[in-house]
Amino acid sequence: MNYFEVFGLPKILKIDLKALERTFHELSRKYHPDYFAAAAPEERQNALQLTATLNDAYRTLRHPVRRTEYLVNLEGFKPDGSKVPKSFLMEVFEINEQLEEVMAGSATPEQIAALTREIEERGARFESQLEAASMEWDKLVESNASETQRKQQLTTLTEILSESSYIRNLQRELEEKP
């Protein structure tokens, strides 16, 4: 059973988080190992496995990036950081150098502010890209689009994820700055 099936959902990317949480709570009340403490060992093991899968599914589906990664993997695509355009890599490289200065403590407050803005903007741009591509994907699913169209959209989603991993790394490092 894949994670979408666990929640009784089609393979779509725009998910109502409130409804997802509601289903998560309902299923937890049904399968949680706490309610099987007195059951036979196989039944207990079963509850443990089911709940683990439910939790894994919820953790994955409620987060837009994890959800998209899961979907493209499920469809046989794999985000690959080494396949991003060279020009993009150069930009990331430059930001990284500035970030190193910040980490080393040799940057001025103005430089830090500018860098923070730059990374935030890139983060926002990535989010809106992902959002648009996800809506596009859902439309293809709903309209029963052709295999070719779907594959093309999955390629687009995979490319966005590949690039975004660099941006997310920058964001993470920025959070850890002294």
10 in helix, strand or coil? coil
Please tell me whether residue 125 binds another protein under the rule CB under 8 A: no
**Among 3-11, 22-30, 79-87, 156-164, which window interacts with another protein (CB under 8 A)?**
22-30
Q: Which of 15, 48, 112, 145 binds another protein (CB under 8 A)?
A: 48
Whose CA is closest to 150, among 62, 74, 85, 79?
74
CB contact at 8 A, 72 and 66:
no
In this structure, the dihedral spanned by the alpha carbons of residues 13, 153, 65 and 127, taken in order and rounded to 10 degrees, is -100
Q: Which of 53, 156, 165, 169 binds another protein (CB under 8 A)?
A: 53
Please tell me whether residue 28 binds another protein under the rule CB under 8 A: yes
Q: Which of 46, 55, 116, 169 binds another protein (CB under 8 A)?
A: 55
Q: Which of 2, 16, 17, 35 binds another protein (CB under 8 A)?
A: 35
Please tell me whether residue 126 binds another protein under the rule CB under 8 A: no
Using CA atoms, how far apart are residues 48 and 33, in angstroms rounded to an integer? Answer: 6
How many Å is the maximal CA-CA distance in the chain? 64
Q: Which two tokens stand for residue 52?
A: 């683990």
In the complex, minimum distance from the CB of residue 135 to another protein, in angstroms, rounded to a whole number: 23
Using CA atoms, how far apart are residues 131 and 149, in angstroms rounded to an integer? Answer: 18
Please tell me whether residue 16 binds another protein under the rule CB under 8 A: no
Q: For residue 176, what is the DSSP state?
A: T
Please tell me whether residue 51 binds another protein under the rule CB under 8 A: yes
In the complex, minimum distance from the CB of residue 25 to another protein, in angstroms, rounded to a whole number: 5
Closer by beta carbon to another protein, 28 or else 152: 28
The distance from CA 31 to its chain's CA centroid, rounded to whole angstroms, is: 26
Query: Which stretches of the chain bind another protein, using CB under 8 A?
Result: 25, 28-29, 32-35, 37-38, 48-49, 51-53, 55-56, 58-59
